[in-house]
Amino acid sequence: MKTQADIAVVKGRSLWSEARRRFYKNIAAMLGLIVLILVSLFAFFGQYIAQFPIDEIDFNVIGQVEQEGGPSIKNGHYFGTDDLGRDLFARVVQGTQVSLIVGFVGAFIAVAMGTLYGAIAGYAGGRTDNIMMRVVDILMAIPSMFVIILLLVMFGRSMAMLFIGVGMLSWLDMSRIVRGQTLSIKNKEYIHAAQAMGVSDVKIITRHILPNLWGIVAVYATLLIPLMILTESFISFIGLGVQEPLTSWGALISEGAGTMQYGTLWQLTFPLFFFVITISAFYFVGDGLRDALDPKER
Amino acid sequence: MTKPLLEVKNLCVDYDIRNEHALPWKSPQTLQAVKEVSFTLGAGETLGIVGESGSGKSTLARAIVQLEKATGSILWGGDTELIGLSRQQMLPFRSQIQFVFQDPFASLNPRLTVGQIIEEPLTVHQPQLSRTQRRERVRSMMHRVSLLPNQINRYPHEFSGGQCQRIGIARALIVEPRLLICDEPVSALDVSIQAQIINLLNSLQKEMGLAMLFIAHDLSVVKHISDRVMVMYLGKVMEMADCSVLYKQPSHPYTQALISAVPLPDPQQERSKKRILLLGDMPSPLSPPSGCVFRTRCQYATTECATRTPQLQSTGNSSEHSVSCHFPAVSLS
Ligand code: SF4
């Protein structure tokens, strides 16, 4: 037998779905999201549009890059060529891939480590918390750029080293933020309730604390990605980043800036354009997320 | 004589308060949140605990379920000492002692649905149940606390304060505990809702044969639900008596002041009644007054009160009525 109440189970609106609704209403954030999707599509599928592989030198333009190497549909170099006569379109696609990967993987490492570390420190409290956070303080005192450069010089320039260097050193901020948030959640009554009913610590962290942290973690993660991209670009700009023939935005911008005085301005503007719109788009999305996730803190 | 369900003896809870800027080898200050509290509670009985905020009543409640480190003795069911049990050993007793909290919103995890919240104790204490069995239990429990079972997938922020408190009650009662500790369950609610929740608790208590510890900060709420009442001040028991006795013959000056603050339904009486105003604030529990802890605000205080600490003693007019005051007779006006 079914009663009326059984038939119509009301679907609840979770905090997530309400946040999503608020996010959709935020025009700047939605524009940012669209830009990010377009840039990602460009990174994924650009190589199929490109007429040349990234490392092929076009002998038709070599030696006269200023005159022949400009952006043109006719000869297939949509973004022109670089100083050596390589197709800039293909190289920007490649640079976008590398920069986005560094951004996402670096942020992922930072978020995973920072969240776990911070949540444990915050939940354990007392002496454990004290020691764990002092370790973070000490690590923070080391200039991170210096360490990354040292790592790259000592262990060679590789993508893996870049990930480790960038990711490992940026989880510190994350762990501080998460710890602070955990401390405030820990004193909420629903945590006391779970403790009083005998829920295990692991379950309390995974079921009650982490889901309430995701909001703030998501916001900082989106703000962390552009930071990672910036860091990587800076390292590439000073010539320590990814190795040829691989490239990244930073490396491309560096090359473009180097040849600026010869009048080949497109070599700087195309990578710079992608760099700027992506970084701004990430900040807009991060901002929108923050507004959507805690509407009170505006 | 049947054994009481819960027997608390000389329960003390101390906190170490460490000044942030103190040198590490300095010994921390000790704050005695609960001082030598003793009481017994029979099956199906309700003990009201009353006191201002900071009187240690919530700490006492938390200590009973081992959320605070306590010393003394908490005897459960006449034979099990709860203090000193390991987490694992404590687990079976946690299902028999359940908690209802003060803030109906803060006591429910906003990311979980009502169904997930209510079934959580079941997942801990009766893991053998299948998902559908648990859902069934949740539905019937929701029905018992007058929530519509079709709201099972909703989230706490979609409910009112009173409904949230019902969810909290459902969560506490789903494992069929023997003792329910209510930590100011109605203080955050509107007066009209307060009555509903209290009636609900009352009827559920009768149905399930629950014992209750009912904590509140004023006497008016406790009156309707308690068999006995314990009045606390600065971590100490001031007076303990049967509910009817306490309201008719309050012997401790603090109890009298609390009772005079309870509004009377009859406006005539309300206007003519003598009100005892308590002056000042409760002293800091870090440096409680010497002798009687209430003396800084007591209108009958003498020099003796400052030097000698009154013990909780029977008043003689009823074996259940005890008071900790040197001059309970003086205050019987
Ligand atoms: S002992 Fe003295 S100060 Fe304390 S309540 Fe009694 S009369 Fe007042």
CA distance A39 to B105: 42
HSE, CB side, 13 Å, CA atoms: give it for residue B155.
12
CATH of domain B6-96+178-323: 3.40.50.300
Could you tell me which residue, A67 or B79, shows the higher pLDDT? B79
Separation of CA B326 and ligand 1 centre (Å): 6
Contact call for B99 and A12, based on CB within 8 A: no
Query: Does the beta carbon of B286 lie under 8 angstroms from any beta carbon of chain A?
Result: no
- Beta-carbon separation of A15 and B111 below 8 A: yes
Inspect the interface and report whether the beta carbons of B155 and A198 lie closer than 8 Å: no
Residue B124 touches partner A, C-beta closer than 8 Å = yes
- Rounded to two decimals, the ipTM of the complex is 0.80
**Per mean pLDDT, which range of A16-20, A49-53, B20-24 is the poorest?**
B20-24
**Ligand 1 center from residue A249 Cα (angstroms):** 79
DSSP annotation of A205 reads I
Domains contained in chain A, CATH given: 18-53+76-293 (1.10.3720.10)
Residue A61's pLDDT band, with cuts at 50, 70 and 90, is low
Q: How far is the CA of A38 from the centre of ligand 1 (A)?
A: 78
In this prediction, residue A66 has a pLDDT band, given cuts at 50, 70 and 90, of low
Mean pLDDT highest for which of A134-138, A153-157, A159-163?
A: A134-138
Q: Is the predicted pLDDT of residue B131 greater than 80, yes or no?
A: yes
Pocket of ligand 1, candidates B295, B302, B313: which has the most ligand atoms within 8 Å of its Cβ, to mutate? B295
Best residue for ligand 1 mutational test, from B232, B252, B293, B294 (most atoms within 8 Å of Cβ): B294
Question: Which among B324, B288, B294, B315 is positioned nearest to B32, based on CA atoms?
Answer: B288
Q: What angle do CA A142, A145, A148 make, to 5 degrees?
A: 95
CB A41 within 8 A of CB A59: no
Among A52-66, A79-93, A246-260, B47-61, where is mean pLDDT lowest?
A: A52-66
pLDDT score for B333: 44
Which of the given ranges, A60-64, A211-215, B234-238, B310-314, has the highest pLDDT on average?
B234-238
Q: B32 alpha carbon to ligand 1 midpoint, in Å?
A: 20
Q: What is the pLDDT of residues A218-275, one digit of tens each?
A: 888 888 888 888 888 888 888 777 777 778 888 888 888 877 777 777 778 888 888 8
Percentage of chain B modeled with pLDDT above 70: 94
Strands, sheet with B80-81, edge to edge from the N-terminal-most edge strand: B29-41, B6-17, B71-76, B80-81
Phi/psi for B83 (5° steps) reads -70, 130
Whether residue B126 is predicted with pLDDT greater than 50 in this model: the reply is yes
Higher-confidence residue of B296 and A65: namely: B296
Is the per-residue pLDDT at B287 higher than 60? yes
- Ligand 1 centroid to Cα of residue B70, in Å, is 27
Inter-residue contact B270 to B297 (CB < 8 Å):
no
Confidence class for position B169, pLDDT limits 50, 70, 90: very high
- Per-residue pLDDT, averaged over B281-295, amounts to 83
pLDDT at A4 over 60: no
B103 near A CB under 8 A: yes
Interface membership of B126 toward A (CB under 8 Å): no
More confident: B108 or B314: B108
Closest alpha carbon within chain B to A215: B111
How near does any CA of chain B get to the CA of A137, in Å?
18
pLDDT score recorded for residue B118:
92
At residue A147, the pLDDT reads 80
Whether A6 has a pLDDT exceeding 60, the answer reads: no
B168 lines ligand 1 (CB under 6 A): no
B121 touches chain A (CB under 8 A): yes
Segment A73-88 shows an average pLDDT of 73
pLDDT digits (tens, 9 = 90+) for A165-222: 777 778 888 899 899 888 888 888 888 888 888 888 888 888 888 888 888 888 888 8
Q: Is B51 in the pocket of ligand 1 (CB under 6 A)?
A: no
Query: Going by C-beta distance under 8 Å and a sequence separation of 6 or more, which residues neighbour residue B88?
Result: none
**Interatomic CA distance for residues A105 and A107, integer angstroms:** 5
**Which pTM value belongs to this model?**
0.77
Chain A positions touching chain B (beta carbons under 8 Å): 5-15, 188-190, 192-199, 207-208, 211-212
Q: Which residue has the higher pLDDT, A135 or B187?
A: A135
User: Hey, where are the domains in chain B?
Assistant: 6-96+178-323, 110-176
Across the A:B interface, residue pairs with CB atoms under 8 Å apart total: 92
Contact B102 A189 (CB under 8 A): yes
Task: Give per-residue pLDDT as tens, B302-311.
Answer: 888 888 888 8
Tell me what pLDDT residue B180 has: 92
Length of chain A: 298
pLDDT tens-digit readout, B210-233: 999 999 888 888 888 888 899 998
Per-residue confidence band for A65, with pLDDT thresholds at 50, 70 and 90 = low
- Answer yes or no: are the C-beta atoms of B47 and B71 closer than 8 Å: no
Mutate to test the pocket of ligand 1, among B256, B305, B311 (most ligand atoms within 8 A of CB): B305
B68 to chain A: closest CA residue: A196
B199: how many CB neighbours lie within 10 A of its CB? 12
